[in-house]
Each structure stands twice: as C-alpha cells, then as structure tokens.
Chains A and B, each alone.
Chain A
Amino acid sequence: MRKFRNIAAAALAAGALVALTACNSGSPTDPAGGGEPAPEPEVADEVALEGSPTYDKMVENGGPIIGVKEDQPGLGYLDVATNERSGFDIEIARWIAASLGFDEEDITYKAVASANREQELVSGNIDYYVGTYSITDQRKEQIDFAGPYFVTGQGFLVAADSPITEVKDESTFNGKTVCSATGSTPIQNITENFPEVKTQEYDIYSQCVEDLLSGKVDAVTTDAAILIGYAAERPDELKVLPDTEGNNPGLFTEERYGVGLPKGDTALQEHINTLFTDGHDEWQKIFDATLGKSGVEIEQPEVDPVS
C-alpha cells in the first residue's frame, strides 16, 4: 500500500513537471542587457604559430579547449535557458581563438573553478584560461600569463538610488551592511579594520546581488570587474561607486587579469600579447558590448613583457 502511494506521488509529480516544460522553450523573451550583439572577431586564416606546443595541440584536436567561468554575468556567463556563453572574458577568449584561426564552432569551453585553474593548465586539460585570473608571482611558478588584458581591484556595488555616491574607504559604510563571498579577503579586511561596518557573507555572489536589489544589504564588494558585470546586466538598478578622487570605478586594491597559459609556451604568450597591443579597437568593441553597458569607462592596460 505504501509503495503504491509512493509510485502514484512520483508519477503525479513527473507528469506535472512535463506539463510545465510545455510552457517555454528557447531563450528568455527579453534578455537583460540584450541589444547590441557581441562583436564577431574575424577568424584569421593561414595562421602558422611556430614553436608553441599548446598551439600544436590545439591544431591536433581541431580546436582549443578554453577554461572559463560560467556564473559571472557580464564576464563569464552561461545562460542555462539557451546554453549560450557571454561576457567580457568569453569574448576575449573568442578573440584569441579567432586570431589563431579557430572558428566559434571549434571551441570547447570548460568550466573550471578558481581552485583548480593551475592544476588544469599544468595537466594540459585546458589550453588556456580566461576568467578573472589575477596575475601573481606565486602562480607564475606553475604557469605563465599573457596580458594583462584588464586591470581592476576591489570595488563597491550599490543600488542605483543609494544615497552613497562615492567611496573614501570601507568606513563610508559605517552602520551599513556590506556583502561579499564567505571568508573572502574583503570580509576579513572589514572585520579586522572596520568594526563598525556590518558584514553579510554568502557562498555565491548572485545571492549578495539579490539581497542588494531587495534592500537587505547596502553594498556588495569584490573585484570591480565582477561588480561591473552585474551592473551591466541591470544598469538602471545597480551602479559601481567611484572613489573620492573621481575615479570611476573606485578601486581599493589592484588585480591584473591575464590569460593563463601552460608554462614555457613563450610563442603563444608573445602572440597573445601582440594581439592585445595591436588590437586596441577590437578590445574597445568587446568592452563596449559587455562591461561597458554599465556606464563605466576603463582603459585597456599595457601588456607585461614576456618573461
């Protein structure tokens, strides 16, 4: 008797779910941040990059395997409804692939969590990584970087109608609540040095942003690039704060994003660096189509010399 009840309940639930899917298929009717399509970089033909084992592997496999993030709107985002990837980092990755002669269809994307980035590059499971990857000396012991292609730092995101219009430092938020990722450096910094600022921690940033939109927290803090990504999705509801010196966005640390490469592949490193240096127009087009929608203006940085 019990088993029949269980089966009946399960069948009913399954039937209800199937009925639900009949409602909607395909893409959301109005994707936030829709409008200008992302630029389609020209696929180079007759590329012959010599001396790059990574490039040879890509040619052998018929296309690159690119490590990316998939939960950062505006930077590296996978839309589950359409299975489309979009964002600044994704477009940079596509640009690099096009310059190596690979079409969009040849690219295989692989979502790699922050903790596993070096491991995946060292083991060769991915060919290169584009995803809020900060250049640090410790990481350079295991892998190489091309770029940087973006410079950012810790920033603050508030509601568009927030009374706070600029940030001096964390003390601007005395008595208010600032949200960030659990155990992250900004939270540790605030709890140690700014005890009058209340903190809220979540595992995933989108929860922080949801709280910000509903008014439960007053600000979200992390790398400004990530915050700009969220602001670009909802430019009328969110904004990234400038600092008191008029820089927009106001940055309180420095993070330089680079393209992660396997160690020792200087040929590929030089190729990508040259691409960045000579391709300022393309960089600007990519920026305007993704992060630029939030209204901030950022300059393309100079690349580091190949080490």
Chain B
Amino acid sequence: MDAITGNLDLWRQGIGTTLLLFAGGGVIAIVLGTVVGAMRVSPVPIARAVGTLYVNLVRNTPLTLVFFFFIFGYSALALPTLPNTILGIAAIGVYTATYVAETLRAGINTVPVGQAEAARAIGLPFGLVMTQVVLPQAFRSVVPPMMSVLIALLKNTTVAAGFSIAVLPRLQQTISNSHTRPGTSMEILAWVAVFFVVVVMLLTLAQRALEKKWRIAR
C-alpha cells in the first residue's frame, strides 16, 4: 500500500497521462478512421487505393516504430517543436485509426444491400438512406468491435513509456531510480497491472453487455 500512498503525485500523473493519450488518441483515431473508412468504401478507385495503402502500411508496422517515427522523426521536419506527449497522441491516433477504419468498413458491410436498395426505391435521398436505414443497423455491428479497438488503444498507451512519456509503466523507472520513494519495482508493476486489469475488465463487461443486447437474429 505504501507503494501507492507514498507516490500519489506520480500515480496521478501516470493515470492522467494514460487517459490523455487514450482520449486524444481515441479522438484522432475515430475522426481519421472514419475518413479512411469512408475512402475505403467510396466509389472513387483512387480513394480506395490510398485508403488501402495507408491501412496496410500502418497495420504492418509495430506501434513502437510508429512512435519512433513521430517522436524522433518530427524534429526532421524543421517545424516548431512539440512536446513528446502531443507527438505520442498523434502516433497512437494514427495507428489506431486503421483499426477504426476496418471496423467501420466491416460494420457497413453487414447491412444487407437490399435495405439500402429498398430505401432508394421509395425515393429517399442519400442523407435519409444513411441516417434512417443504414447507419442504425450498422451501428449495432460496429459498436462491440469498436470497443475492442478502444480497449486495445488503452493497453497500447503503455508503449509510450519507452519514449519518455509519463504513462503508467514509467512509474517503475522513476520510483526505482529515486531511491527515496517507497515501493519496489515488483510492487509498482503489480499495481500498474491491477489498474489495467480492472479498467479492461470493466470495459469488456460493458462490451459483452452491449453485444448481448444488440445481438441480431438473422
């Protein structure tokens, strides 16, 4: 318990930075992922090609390398410098966007074409087809996998620790280097693990509940 109470400021910073990366990365991922997903299913072949290239390139790169590019490569752009945390948010957002795009594409594809064709046959314009017919049905298929992506995003924030961003795993190094703060490396890492287990379990339970509620009978 000492390991927690004696280091409250560090824990607060660690959890705060983790949540910051999660929220910031999540927003970037959802926005960029929607754009890329839309490109992937659009009728424009160039847009489809660009989207596919982006998804395949980033999906086959380790997240650590994406971080490396953003944090070390940014200085090569000769632009005003940004703190590592911002660059980390960008890195994790760009990486997660690919999974968001894939999830959206898969969700759209679960809606039977007949639904959209029937909607068009009764004369609904594109906007109403989307909002009244397609998206409500796609929503049910998209949300549970999207929650998986968000859970993965939360766990991926730990990678930022390798780049001097103050996320939770970094606590272990700070505390063991200081020699004045209580807590052995094992205790700190165990508590970090407990944090993730608790949060991930909660999110997973929510995801399972949603899945069950929205299970579609076909």
Contact = CB atoms under 8 A, between A and B. Distances in A.
Contacts of B72: 203, 207
Given A115-B173, A115-B176, A203 B163 contact: yes
A7 B9 CA distance: 52
Most buried by A among B71, B75, B81, B166: B81
Interface in B136-182: 163-164, 166, 173, 176-177, 179-180
Given A115-B173, A115-B177, A203 B164 contact: yes
B70 to A, nearest CB: 12
Interface string B43-76: 0000000000000000000000000000110010
B163 to A, nearest CB: 6
B81 A182 contact: no
Interface string B172-207: 010011011000000000000000000000000000
A132 to B, nearest CB: 15
Interface string A120-146: 000000000000000010110000000
B75 A207 contact: yes
Nearest to A177: B81
B75 A202 contact: yes
Contacts of A216: 78
A211 interface: yes
Contacts of A201: 83-84, 164
Contacts of B173: 115
A220 B135 CA distance: 55
Interface in A183-234: 183, 200-203, 207, 211, 216
B164 A183 contact: yes
A83 to B, nearest CB: 24
A211 B75 contact: yes
Contacts of A139: 179
A124 to B, nearest CB: 19
Contacts of B164: 182-183, 201, 203
B86 to A, nearest CB: 12
Contact of A138 (B81, B84, B163, B179): B179
Given A183-B164, A203-B71, 12 more contacts: A115-B173, A115-B177, A138-B179, A182-B84, A183-B166, A201-B84, A201-B164, A202-B75, A203-B84, A203-B163, A211-B75, A216-B78
Interface of A: 115, 136, 138-139, 182-183, 200-203, 207, 211, 216
In order of increasing CB-CB distance, the 3 nearest A-B pairs are: A138-B179, A182-B164, A203-B164
15 contacts: A115-B173, A115-B176, A136-B179, A138-B179, A138-B180, A183-B166, A200-B81, A201-B83, A201-B84, A203-B84, A203-B163, A203-B164, A207-B75, A211-B75, A216-B78
